[in-house]
């Protein structure tokens, strides 16, 4: 009699075993890929730091061009106040001030960095309005005030870019050599600014034209230069050390250092100016001062080059490690797949024989060859139990046939039945079922842990990339625009440092919940790690993406977390990248664009929040702010 119930479709033994064995393989590959991703992120951080040092070099070179124009303009204007025209001044000091001023002003006008902000563009217009009158109608005080404001604003730009570099370094978590390079760059720039003030004030003190204010400036700038120079010991890299040695031992710098010591003594103790009547000596000191400024500028650029080279070396080392980890990942994958196939084969053959024998028993064929005792312990136990069961069924069949024939005296009816065989078979089946269920539960748990963030329950980075890759493919097929929003929780480090990591963790969870409230049911929300989140959504265009980004900002801004007796208000910065028909199809590139958009948004926000700079020049030139947390 057949079974009246319809047959159900089941996976093959080989398929089930391959899936079970592949779980450790998938876990191994995931862990190795996570390590490779971390190494790639480290490489990206090194590249960002190297790029920021290039930006600082550009600003410093622009500052040097501005100073190159300031010196001849100030000299001509100062000489004019004593009724000395430019040709006479050039002849006395053996410097062609007219051509020097013309070429340096052309360089200033062509430099884009010197017009890169609204304030710098205003400074450029003020300078262009005054320079035609240099030597005739423009006074020394006028030209000095414009240049002082212009130089201070360029200094502010350098310091702002340096703060951006510090932020990149703090996110990167580099080795100690990078921190040392950052210290060296900060101190050499301080020495550069102090040297500029020292040279300018020193010339006036030496020729007897310095008032009390300039004398005080001379003393203060000399102290700042000495402090900055003393702090360079042990922090300079090879290029910076070489530039520092050249500066300290060049004949011009040595001679001018002696002049400056005399200028400081005059500013402190008074006395006759040594160059008031000695024009050739003053001309030589003036040229030596220009050489010292060039050497100071070269020192800062060399220190920046050391930092740039250190970052590039870290990037190269990270790249090599990344390549090795990827190669190891591929090797592990191949070995794991090979092992999975071998294990699946060792399990599949005994199970297939057992299934075939069971099918024949189901069809009423009890006269079977005993199943071999091979495979894992559980399978061997099951085969032995099946052999017992088949023997029992064969004995039962013999007894049934004997009873059916009426041969009551048949000796087969007297043979005892192996009652333990059925129990052993059931026990083996039970054990096999239990183990299979445990492995399936483990697979489900590992899959959940591999695709979701443990703290927030959101998708993690790997799952987000997989989802984004899938959706980008569908977008290309269906022409369905899609946006990627990169969300960065503001001030997480400050929250951790001020209130503790428990409050910081609560802020991350609250931000995740706020993102859930601010997005639609079909949108994808993931946590990339730390304070970074990702939102994937299908939109009709830029306006809708911007609307969702604004809604996310407002929702997070309306969220707070308790911190003892107070509450911490949250905020976030959102960057948007749109994947339309002209956009790239690489998910990592799309995320990178959203990340860059977020940094642009944050940078714009910080720019708007900057206090106006003191254009009067009354503050100390070259003051270095403390490193942000």
Residue 561: its H or E element: strand 560-563
Q: What is the pLDDT of residue 490?
A: 94
Residue 256 lies in a domain: yes
Nearest 5°: the CA angle 281, 286, 289 is: 125
Residue 332 lies in a domain: no
Q: Dihedrals φ, ψ of 460, to 5°? A: -95, -175
**Cβ within 8 Å of residue 194, ≥6 positions away:** 221, 222, 224, 225, 228, 622
Cα–Cα distance, 13 to 186 (Å, whole number): 67
The total number of structural domains that make up the chain: 3
Cα–Cα distance, 620 to 170 (Å, whole number): 28
pLDDT at residue 516 tops 80: yes
C-beta of residue 189 within 8 angstroms of C-beta of residue 228: no
Residue 27, class by beta-carbon neighbours within 10 Å (0-12 exposed, 13-18 middle, 19+ buried)? middle
Q: Which of 429, 451, 473 is the last residue of a domain?
A: 451
pLDDT at residue 629 tops 50: no
Q: Which of 285, 300, 327 is the last residue of a domain?
A: 327
When computed from its CA atoms, the radius of gyration of the chain, rounded to whole angstroms, is 40
Q: What is the pLDDT of residue 583?
A: 52
Indicate which CATH number applies to the domain containing 563. Answer: 3.30.70.270
Q: What tokens does 21 get?
A: 């064995």
Give the residue numbers spanning the domain of 435. 379-451
Work out the average pLDDT over 300-329: 83
Same structural domain for residues 535 and 426? Answer: no
**Cβ within 8 Å of residue 287, ≥6 positions away:** 93, 94, 95, 252
**Cβ within 8 Å of residue 456, ≥6 positions away:** 508, 509, 512, 527
Q: What is the dihedral sign for C-alpha 388, 390, 394, 396? A: positive
DSSP, residue by residue, 522-542:
T-EEEEEETTEEEEEEE-SSH
Q: State percent of the chain over pLDDT 70.
A: 79
Cα–Cα distance, 270 to 272 (Å, whole number): 7
Task: Give which of 370, 225, 367 is closest to 289, Cα–Cα.
Answer: 225
Task: Give which of 375, 329, 328 is closest to 349, Cα–Cα.
Answer: 375
Q: What tokens does 26 get?
A: 């998938």
- Bridge partners (DSSP) of residue 110 are none
Work out the average pLDDT over 375-388: 74
pLDDT, one tens digit per residue, over 530-561 is 999 999 998 888 889 999 999 999 999 999 99
Work out the average pLDDT over 584-598: 86
236 sits in the region (left: phi over 0; alpha: psi -120 to 50; else beta) called beta
pLDDT at residue 515 tops 80: yes
Give the pTM.
0.48
Residue 15 lies in a domain: no
Cα–Cα distance, 553 to 511 (Å, whole number): 10
Cα–Cα distance, 594 to 584 (Å, whole number): 12
The count of C-alpha atoms lying within 13 angstroms of the C-alpha of 589, restricted to the half-sphere facing its C-beta, is 6
Angle between helices 461-478 and 419-451 (to 10 degrees): 80
Cα–Cα distance, 249 to 247 (Å, whole number): 6
Q: What is the pLDDT of residue 517?
A: 94
Same structural domain for residues 268 and 176? Answer: yes
pLDDT, one tens digit per residue, over 177-227 is 788 888 888 888 888 888 887 777 777 777 676 677 877 887 888 888 888
Work out the average pLDDT over 355-373: 78
Same structural domain for residues 424 and 484? Answer: no
Average pLDDT, the chain: 79
Q: What tokens does 376 get?
A: 């894992």
pLDDT at residue 63 tops 70: yes
Q: Which of 96-105, 442-451, 553-562 has the lowest mean pLDDT?
A: 442-451
Q: What is the pLDDT of residue 345?
A: 64
Residue 504's pLDDT band (boundaries 50, 70, 90)? very high
Q: What tokens does 370 get?
A: 């005993």
Cα–Cα distance, 427 to 421 (Å, whole number): 10
pLDDT at residue 151 tops 80: yes
- Per DSSP, the three-state class of 573 is strand
- Bridge partners (DSSP) of residue 532 are 488, 529
pLDDT at residue 84 tops 90: no
Residue 339 lies in a domain: no
Same structural domain for residues 604 and 490? Answer: yes
Cα–Cα distance, 459 to 452 (Å, whole number): 4
Residue 350 lies in a domain: no
Q: What is the pLDDT of residue 16?
A: 62
pLDDT, one tens digit per residue, over 153-172 is 988 999 988 888 888 888 87
Same structural domain for residues 447 and 466? Answer: no
Residue 371 lies in a domain: no
Residue 32 lies in a domain: yes
Same structural domain for residues 94 and 124? Answer: yes
Q: Which of 451, 476, 508 is the last residue of a domain?
A: 451
Same structural domain for residues 395 and 443? Answer: yes
Work out the average pLDDT over 115-125: 91
Tell me which range, 169-183, 422-436, 486-500, 580-594, is most confidently predicted by mean pLDDT.
486-500
Q: What is the pLDDT of residue 431?
A: 60
C-beta of residue 260 within 8 angstroms of C-beta of residue 202: yes
Q: What is the pLDDT of residue 617?
A: 39
Q: What tokens does 173 get?
A: 């978590």
Task: Output 308 or 459, whichever has higher pLDDT.
Answer: 459
Cα–Cα distance, 440 to 159 (Å, whole number): 58
- Bridge partners (DSSP) of residue 576 are 485
Q: What is the pLDDT of residue 341?
A: 67
491 sits in the region (left: phi over 0; alpha: psi -120 to 50; else beta) called left
444: number of Cβ within 10 Å = 11
Same structural domain for residues 132 and 153? Answer: yes
Q: What tokens does 381 get?
A: 């136990």
Q: What is the pLDDT of residue 527?
A: 95
Same structural domain for residues 192 and 227? Answer: yes
Same structural domain for residues 472 and 423? Answer: no
Same structural domain for residues 115 and 39? Answer: yes
Same structural domain for residues 596 and 491? Answer: yes
Q: Which of 17-26, 130-139, 520-529, 589-598 has the lowest mean pLDDT?
A: 17-26
Cα–Cα distance, 229 to 240 (Å, whole number): 12
Residue 299 lies in a domain: yes
**Cβ within 8 Å of residue 617, ≥6 positions away:** 145, 148, 149, 152
pLDDT, one tens digit per residue, over 406-424 is 565 667 656 676 656 545 5
- Per DSSP, the three-state class of 137 is coil
Task: Output 237 or 93, whichever has higher pLDDT.
Answer: 237
Q: What is the pLDDT of residue 172?
A: 79
C-beta of residue 276 within 8 angstroms of C-beta of residue 207: yes
Q: State percent of the chain over pLDDT 90.
A: 19
């Amino acid at each position: 009699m057949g079974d009246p119930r319809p047959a159900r479709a089941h996976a093959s033994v080989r398929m089930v075993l391959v899936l079970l064995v592949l779980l450790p393989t998938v876990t191994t590959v995931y862990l190795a890929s996570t390590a490779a991703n971390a190494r790639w992120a480290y490489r990206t951080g090194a590249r960002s730091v190297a790029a920021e040092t290039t930006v600082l070099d550009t600003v410093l070179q622009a500052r040097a061009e501005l100073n190159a124009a300031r010196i001849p303009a100030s000299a001509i204007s100062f000489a004019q106040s004593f009724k000395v025209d430019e040709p006479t001044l050039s002849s006395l000091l053996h410097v062609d001030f007219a051509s020097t001023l013309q070429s340096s002003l052309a360089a200033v006008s062509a430099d884009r960095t010197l017009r890169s902000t609204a304030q710098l563009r205003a400074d450029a217009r003020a300078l262009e309005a005054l320079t035609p009158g240099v030597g005739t109608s423009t006074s020394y005080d006028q030209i000095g005030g414009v240049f002082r404001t212009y130089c201070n604003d360029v200094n502010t730009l350098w310091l702002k870019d340096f703060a951006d570099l510090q932020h990149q370094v703090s996110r990167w978590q580099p080795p100690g050599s990078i921190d040392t390079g950052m210290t060296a760059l900060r101190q050499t720039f301080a020495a550069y600014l102090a040297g500029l003030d020292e040279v300018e004030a020193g010339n006036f003190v030496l020729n007897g034209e310095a008032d009390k204010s300039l004398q005080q400036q001379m003393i203060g700038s000399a102290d700042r230069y000495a402090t900055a120079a003393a702090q360079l010991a042990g922090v300079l890299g090879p290029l910076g050390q070489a530039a520092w040695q050249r500066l300290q031992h060049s004949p011009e710098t040595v001679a001018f250092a002696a002049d400056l010591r005399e200028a400081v003594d005059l500013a402190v103790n008074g006395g006759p100016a040594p160059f008031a009547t000695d024009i050739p000596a003053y001309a030589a000191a003036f040229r030596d001062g220009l050489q010292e400024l060039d050497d100071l500028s070269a020192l800062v650029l060399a220190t920046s080059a050391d930092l740039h080279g250190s970052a590039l070396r870290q990037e190269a080392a990270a790249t090599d490690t990344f390549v090795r980890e990827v190669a190891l990942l591929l090797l592990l994958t191949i070995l794991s797949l090979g092992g999975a196939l071998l294990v699946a084969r060792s399990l599949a053959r005994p199970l297939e024989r057992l299934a075939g024998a069971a099918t024949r028993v189901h069809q009423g064929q009890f006269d079977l060859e005993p199943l071999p005792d091979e495979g894992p312990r559980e399978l061997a136990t099951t085969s032995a139990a099946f052999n017992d069961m088949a023997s029992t069924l064969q004995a039962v069949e013999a007894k049934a046939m004997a009873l059916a024939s009426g041969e009551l005296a048949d000796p087969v009816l007297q043979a005892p039945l192996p009652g333990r065989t059925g129990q052993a078979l059931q026990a083996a089946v039970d054990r096999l079922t239990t183990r299979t269920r445990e492995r399936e539960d483990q697979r489900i748990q590992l899959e959940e842990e591999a695709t979701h963030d443990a703290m927030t329950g959101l998708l993690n980075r790997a799952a987000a990339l997989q989802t984004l890759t899938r959706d980008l493919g569908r977008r290309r097929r269906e022409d369905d625009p899609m946006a990627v929003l990169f969300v960065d929780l503001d001030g997480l480090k400050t929250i951790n440092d001020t209130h503790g990591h428990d409050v910081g963790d609560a802020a991350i969870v609250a931000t995740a919940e706020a993102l859930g409230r601010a997005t639609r049911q079909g949108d994808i929300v993931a946590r990339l790690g730390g304070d970074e989140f990702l939102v994937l959504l299908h939109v009709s265009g830029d306006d809708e993406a911007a609307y969702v980004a604004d809604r996310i900002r407002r929702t997070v801004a309306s969220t707070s977390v308790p911190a003892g007796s107070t509450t911490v208000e949250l905020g976030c910065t959102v960057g948007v990248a749109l994947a339309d028909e002209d956009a790239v199809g690489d998910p990592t590139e799309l995320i990178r664009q959203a990340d860059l958009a977020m940094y642009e948004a944050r940078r714009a926000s910080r720019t708007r929040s900057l206090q106006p700079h003191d254009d009067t020049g009354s503050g100390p030139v070259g003051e270095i702010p403390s490193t942000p947390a």
